[in-house]
Structure 1
Amino acid sequence: MTPLDQLAAAAGVARSWRDAEHQIHHVEDEVLGAVLGALGYPATSENQQQLSLDRLREERETPPSFLSGDVGHPITLPPALAQATHADLYPEQGEPRTLVIHQGQLPPFGQPGYHRLVVEDHALTLALAPSCCPPIAAPGRKRWGVAVQMPSLRDKAGSAYGTLADLPSMIAMLASHGADAVAISPLHALLPGDGQHFSPYSPSSRLFLNGALACPVEGPSPEGLIDWVTQVPSQFAMMQAAHARLTSEERDKLRIWAEEQGPALHRHALFNVLNRQFKGIPWQQWPAAYRDPDGEAARQVSATQGDEISLHLYIQQQTSHALAAAQWATRAHGMDIGLIADLAVGVDPGGSDAWTMGEAMLRGLTIGAPPDPLGPLGQNWGLTSFSPQGLRRTGFAPFIAMLRAVLTHAGGVRIDHAFGLERLWVVPEGWSAAQGAYLSYPVNDLLRLVTLEAHRAGAIVIAEDLGTHPPGFTEAIAACGMAGMRVLWFERDEDGAFRPPRTFPQTSVAMTGTHDTPTITGWWRGRDLAWDRALGRRTPRALAMAEVERAVDRNALWSAVGKPGPVPARDDPAPVVDAALAHIGSAGSALAIVPLEDVLGLEEQPNLPGTTDEHPNWRRRLPAPFEDLAAQPAIARRLDQLDRSRRA
């Protein structure tokens, strides 16, 4: 094993990887060196490699500030503390106690939580996770819900796009049909006020909320599409005017609320002020003095632009109150789960989290996916995420804060690209998406923290596990009580037949589709293939083959979901939508979630992966307010049928 290989293994960077077809690929030395260098371990020469390896060994020998374990099981101490004989435990609740260390292990402890542990004068946090996350449903009970792209909602007043204010009326309507949950698109904070960045999966911060969704703003939606660039500045101006009208008493209440949220909120507000001051450019391109959130220049802005900072605190306050009202509505109408939040896999490298969190975040690396049949050149999502080394150095505090933020007003969370809990495909700056490597994460610690935070919040966890699974990942999340996803289009056997949904495991979520897949109507009509043709995403030969395959697949789908009789015509998708919803409703899964687009039989999907401006991603709106649509007999029957199929 070469020094470079030793260094890569020690830093958790995989020298090789296996693709979807089980072929093994090797990472080039130059790419491996670039990834290691970005992680802070220079590797361009053997001397550098040896120095970096020595540094990694020192880090491993340093007693950690954080340790995780499982309730009721012995806890293995790290090597730096394994020779100790006793430890003092200060539980979150209860009296301190002294524990005897036997063969490098602490005895089992039965109380989940964050406890203080002192081993030979070294203090650390001991996070003990319960055996599993809260169950989705009691045995014999099956729940269901609807997935909603919130900006697509309409109100009767003619707002420019849907906001949190539109959720309560929709929740009331769905609850009247027996729904248990509403899965909403990500609410993470985006870059403030310009409308240029509107993808919910490319946030500025996962700690705070998208203020553009706080309350509606009037405006037209030409051709049924959202004009973010025009409407977000209008909404921001409306919030500015509302903030300017606050009384002294209201400002005092705002200040008290902001202080209760902690200093991270103030830093986020400060970032937003600077981001607008520097015209929205990434913070890496700001004048050098402002790139340090703790530097003198940033402190001066904080001291002299208090009213601007107060505006951004106010926007967060109003958004938080609106989200709390929506979750309260789910409880008031008897929903068992309520809102299911969506946790994005990463953040904009030029955004708030990357600026404020320092070494906890990856620098010089973006995340994506290696080459596969759906993306032969690989994918670079242009996002960053936590650094595994940074998480360990910060005692996992940023990860815990993120989980608490997303669960504050929710009954559950969907973790986007949950494989990121174990590994992420990272691409060094300046290299192609295919020239990356897998970076390992402390999966046991992260799974325990997700389980613990879900337990504390009383929330369910859905792990988006679509794609090539890391070995053992499915079993690991199932052991923690996290539900994987079973999507209609992907549940097929070797012969191409759609699997019976009654065979889906109870610890799963059954779905007709996601925001990235065609709707049932769109698939049946071949709208996804039409987009491929219009955008030149496939060769004419490949398109012709795809059309032939789709004809066969239509027969296969109807054979799986439909009633005896002729296959509905390509331009008659309504019977297929009805049958597919009932099909997924019969799944053995504890929870079924149907995208709102499928409930309504819409043709277009919210997002077309691999496109930006070519397809109107995240801009589509419903044809009418949901209450009006749900009052239509055909839609009401679908909702009632879905409820009956879940409760049968």
Structure 2
Amino acid sequence: MSTLHRLAEAAGLQIDWEDALGAAQRVSDRSLAAILKALGYAADSPATIADSMARIAHDRDIACGFVSAVAGEALMLPSACGDPGPAELLLEDGSHRVIVVEAIDTGLRVPAIDTIGYHHLKLGAREISIAIAPPRCFSVEDAVGDRRLWGPAVQIGALRDDSASAFGDFGTLAHTARAFAKRGADAIAISPVHALFPADASRFSPYAPSTRLFLNILYADPALAGGTPAPAPAADLIDWEHAIPARLAALRHTYDHRSEAVHHEVAAHAAIGGDDLKRHARFDALHAHFFTQSGACGWQDWPAAYHDPHSAAVAQFAADHAEEVGFYLFLQWLAKCSLDAAQRAAIDAGMALGLIADLAVGMDAGGSHAWSRPDDLLTGLSIGAPPDLLGPDGQSWGITGFSPLALQRTGFAPFIATLRAALDHAGGIRIDHALGLRRLWVVPDGASSAEGAYLTMPMDDLFRLIALESHRARAVVIGEDLGTVPPGFRPAMDDKAMLGMRVLWFERDKQAGFLPAPAYSRHAVAMTGTHDLPTVAGWWQGRDIDWQWQLGRTSRAADEAADRAARADERTALWQTLIASGDAHGPQPATDNAGPVVDAALAFIGRTPSALAIVPMEDVVGVVEQPNLPGTMDEHPNWRRRMPAATDTLLDRPAVTARLAALNTQRNP
């Protein structure tokens, strides 16, 4: 093995990997060197490689500051973490006791700790943070026993109620939650609600946030502070370019006329949020200032004096623009109140879980988190995915994520804070691209996705922390395990009671036929689709094939005719599967008659033994177009489509009422 390859492996890069079709792949030396450089390990000569190997050894010693384990199991520490002998264990509840650390062949053995929580071990001169997790996550069975639950997945902006607003908000979400609870739903999966860049109306994708620690203020319900959203004409597509400035103007009017009681509540919220919230509000004010002045997209484009959040220039700006900073603090308070109200509405209406939050896989490198805490993140690298079944061209998402070394160095504090922010208002969490908990496909900035490599993440620690925070919040955990799934990942999820996703289109047998409903896992979420996939009606009509060839995207089919011929065969296979399950009857519907297929598909997913079924609202209603087409920006109206009517109105339609009645019957006969 070359010295470059030894360095790459020591840094956690996987040189050889297997793609979604099982073909062996190898990362080029050029890509390895570029990624290593971004990680801080120069590899352009034998001397720099030697220096980088020494740095990795030093970095591993720093990582001795944190360890996780399952309650009742012994902890293992590297020998470099200290000497064997008596050590003081300080428990989270304030109690302490002396334990004996033993030396064994593989390092140091710490006796099992039964108390779940975050503790500290004083081992000589070194203090080690210890996270003791339950064996598994909080589960659906913990919440409701053997009952099988269902709920819709919604895009918040797409929702409508009786008001004439340009897009749905947390108030609309509360309305939708009550409407679905009335029809038997026990959960409602929502699109990410992370903070975006409110001054830039072009950045409305929920999966490219500024930070995941705070909320998307555009969804704040002004009614909770005595305001009203700006009225807007009904439209099929959200006009974010005009809707965002109009919403901000309405919210600013609400802020300017806030009551004294609201003033005190915002101050109390700011005190709880502390320095992190203050820095985020300053970031939003600075971003609005420089974006308006020069179109600066991120903090890297600001004058250098403002790059450090602790600088005198930033402090002076905050003093000179106190009202602007105060406005963004107010909006974070209002957004939290609004989202909390939506969760209360769901639970009070009878839902067992209520909201299921969506945790995006990363954040924008020019955003609030990267400005406030740059050392938490991978710099110079974008997260993405190699070519796979979901994205045949591969993907580079233009976002960054946590550095595995930084997580170890900080005792995983940024990850824990991110989990808590997502679970603060929810009875469950969906972790986007959960495969990234084991390995991230990282791509050097400016390179194609094919020039990336897998970076190993501390999966065991991350899984234990998820179980611990799930246990504390009494929230179920769903992991998006779609794409190139590494061997052993799904069994590891099962072991932690982390629900995987079993999507109708991907659940096939070895002959590519659709699996019968009983073959779906109990410990998973059964789904007709996701926001990145065609709707049932769209798939039946071949709308995804229309987009595929219209945009010139890569296809496994030789040509468009072959693609459509293959879909015709798949339609027949799906209909036969639905007939065999007893959810469909009669001759196969024509391609322009998707209603019976949607009915049968929802009943089929309801019939599965999976503990939870989640159905996109697009399939509940039977619409053709999907919310997002991965790998596109302006070519497809991503995150802009609205529901055709208010949720109550849609659910009262006879076809939808019958569809949900069948789903309820199948879930709990």
Q: Quick check: TM above 0.5?
A: yes
Q: Kindly tell me: are residues 373 and 512 of structure 1, through their superposed partners in 2, closer, same or farther at Cα, counting changes over 3 Å? A: closer
1:74-223 equivalence runs, <5 A: 74-81=74-81, 83-93=83-93, 95-102=95-102, 103=104, 104-137=108-141, 138-215=144-221, 217-220=229-232, 223=235
> Does structure 2 conserve the Cα–Cα contact (< 8 Å) formed by 1:342 and 1:416?
yes
Give 1:431-510 correspondences, 5 Å limit: 431-510=447-526
Q: Match of 2:238?
A: 226
1: distance between equivalents of 2:487 and 2:52?
29
1:505-520 matches, cutoff 5 A? 505-520=521-536
Aligned partners of 1:45 and 1:222: how far apart in 2? 62
Indicate the SS of the match to 1:20. Answer: coil
> What SS is found at the alignment partner of 1:347?
coil
Distance 1:564 1:307 in 2: 64
CA contact (8 A) 1:291 1:355 kept: yes
**Bigger mean CA deviation after superposition, 559-568 or 632-641:** 559-568
Deviates more, 1:529-538 or 1:304-313: 529-538
- Return the offset for 1:156: 1.5
Deviation at residue 372 of structure 1 after TM alignment: 3.4
How far apart are residue 247 of structure 1 and its match?
4.1
Please state whether the residue corresponding to 2:436 is helix, strand or coil: helix
Residues 295 and 437 (structure 1 numbering): CA distance in 2 closer, same or farther, change over 3 Å?
Answer: same
Contact 1:61 1:79 in 2 (8 A): no
- Match of residue 240 from structure 1: 252
Which of residues 233, 244, 255 is equivalent to 2:267? 255
Please name the residue that 1:579 is paired with: 600
How far does the alpha carbon of each residue in 1:6-49 deviate from its partner, in whole angstroms, 9 at most, with x for none?
21111101122211222222222221111111111111111111
1:289-308 mapped onto 2 (5 Å cutoff): 289-308=305-324
Q: Secondary structure at the match of 1:254?
A: helix
- Pair 1:459–1:544, CA change in 2 (3 A): same
**2: CA distance, partners of 1:450 / 1:615:** 35
Secondary structure, counterpart of 2:112 in structure 1: coil
Match of 1:352 in 2: 368
Q: Deviations over 1:390-412 (max 9, x none)?
A: 11122211111000000000000
CA contact (8 A) 1:35 1:428 kept: yes
After superposition, where does 1:527-566 map in structure 2 within 5 Å? Answer: 527-537=543-553, 542-562=559-579, 563-566=584-587
Shift of 1:302: 2.5
Question: Which range is displaced more, 546-555 or 241-250?
Answer: 241-250
Report whether the alignment pairs 1:624 with 2:645: yes
Distance 2:233 2:7 in 1: 54
Give unmatched runs, 5+ long, in structure 2. 222-227
The Cα shift of 1:251 comes to 2.3
Structure 2 counterpart SS, 1:114: strand
* Distance in 2 between residues matched to 1:63 and 1:205, nearest whole Å: 25
Q: Does 1:640 align with 2:652?
A: no
**2:63·2:405 contact (CA, 8 Å) conserved in 1?**
no
Match of 2:601, SS state, is helix
**Aligned partner letter, 1:122:** R
1-structure distance, mates of 2:262, 2:84: 55
C-alpha separation in 1, matches of 2:643 and 2:230: 16
Moved more, 102-111 or 444-453: 102-111
User: What per-residue deviation string (whole Å, max 9, x for no partner) do you get for residues 327-385 of structure 1?
Assistant: 01111112111100000011111111111111110111111112335545421111111
2:70 maps to amino acid: D
Inter-CA distance 63–8: structure 2 relative to 1 (3 Å threshold): closer
Per-residue CA deviations over 1:41-80 (Å, capped at 9, x if unaligned) read: 1111111110111111122234632211110100112222
Q: CA deviation at 1:82?
A: 5.4
CA contact (8 A) 1:210 1:319 kept: yes
**1:21 corresponds to:** 21
406, 421, 426: which one pairs with 2:442?
426
Change in Cα spacing, 1:301 to 1:91, as seen in structure 2 (3 Å) is same
Deviation at 1:193, TM superposition (A): 3.0
How far the C-alpha of 1:93 sits from its partner, in A, is 2.2
Amino acid at match of 2:139: P
C-alpha displacement of 1:473: 0.6
Greater shift in the superposed pair: 405-414 or 147-156: 147-156
Verify the 8 A CA contact 2:388 2:483 in the aligned structure 1: no
Does the residue aligned with 1:197 lie in a helix, a strand or coil? coil
Q: State the shift of 1:515 in Å.
A: 0.3
- The CA deviation at 1:154 is 1.1
Name the CA distance, whole Å, in 1 between partners of 2:602 and 2:548: 26
**Counterpart-to-counterpart distance in 2, 1:644 and 1:82:** 60
TM-score (ref. length: structure 2): 0.94
How far 1:498 sits from its partner (Å)? 0.8
Q: Contact 1:360/1:387 (CA < 8 Å) preserved in 2?
A: yes
Alpha-carbon offset, residue 223 of structure 1: 4.7
Q: 1:592 to 1:93 in 2, by over 3 A?
A: same
- The offset of 1:477, in angstroms, is 1.1
Q: Is 1:394 paired with 2:405?
A: no
- Write the deviation string for residues 461-498 of structure 1: whole angstroms up to 9, x where unpaired: 00000111112111111111100000000001122211
Contact 1:221 1:227 in 2 (8 A): no
Asked if 2 retains the 8 angstrom alpha-carbon contact of 1:369 and 1:433, the reply is: yes
Which residue of 253, 263, 270 corresponds with 2:282? 270
Q: CA deviation at 1:532?
A: 2.2
Offset at 1:287? 1.1
Query: Is structure 2 residue 591 aligned with structure 1 residue 570?
Result: yes
Q: Please give the secondary structure, in 2, of the residue aligned with 1:64.
A: helix
1:393-412 equivalence runs, <5 A: 393-412=409-428
User: Partners of 2:269 and 2:390 in 1: how far apart?
Assistant: 47
CA distance in 2, matches of 1:564, 1:169: 35
Distance 1:496 1:22, change over 3 A: closer
Counterparts of 2:186 and 2:235, CA distance in 1: 33
- Matched with 2:225 is none
In 1, the alpha carbon distance for the partners of 2:389 and 2:432 equals: 20
1:592 and 1:63 mapped to 2: Cα distance?
Answer: 40
Q: Secondary structure at the match of 2:21?
A: coil
Instruction: Give me the whole-angstrom Cα distance separating, in 2, the residues matched to 1:387 and 1:396.
Output: 10
Deviation at 1:635, TM superposition (A): 0.9
Asked if structure 1 preserves the Cα contact closer than 8 Å seen for 2:83 and 2:124, the reply is: no
Letter in 1 for 2:92: E
2:466 alignment partner, SS class: helix
CA contact (8 A) 1:63 1:81 kept: no
CA-CA distance at 1:248 after TM superposition: 4.5
Letter of the 2:196 partner, please give it.
L
SS of corresponding position for 1:367: strand
Unmatched segments (≥5 aa) in structure 1: none
Query: For residues 481 and 422 of structure 2, what CA distance do their matches in structure 1 show?
Result: 19
Q: 1:124 to 1:538 in 2, by over 3 A?
A: closer
CA deviation after TM superposition for structure 1 residue 127, in Å: 0.5
1:3 alignment partner in structure 2: 3
Shift of 1:618: 0.4
Q: Secondary structure at the match of 1:88?
A: strand
Q: TM-score, normalised by structure 1?
A: 0.97
Distance 2:379 2:245 in 1: 30
Measured on the aligned residues, the alpha-carbon RMSD in Å equals 1.6
More divergent stretch after superposition (216-225 vs 579-588): 216-225
What letter corresponds to residue 542 of structure 1 in structure 2? D
- 8 Å contact from structure 2 (residues 160, 647) kept in 1: yes
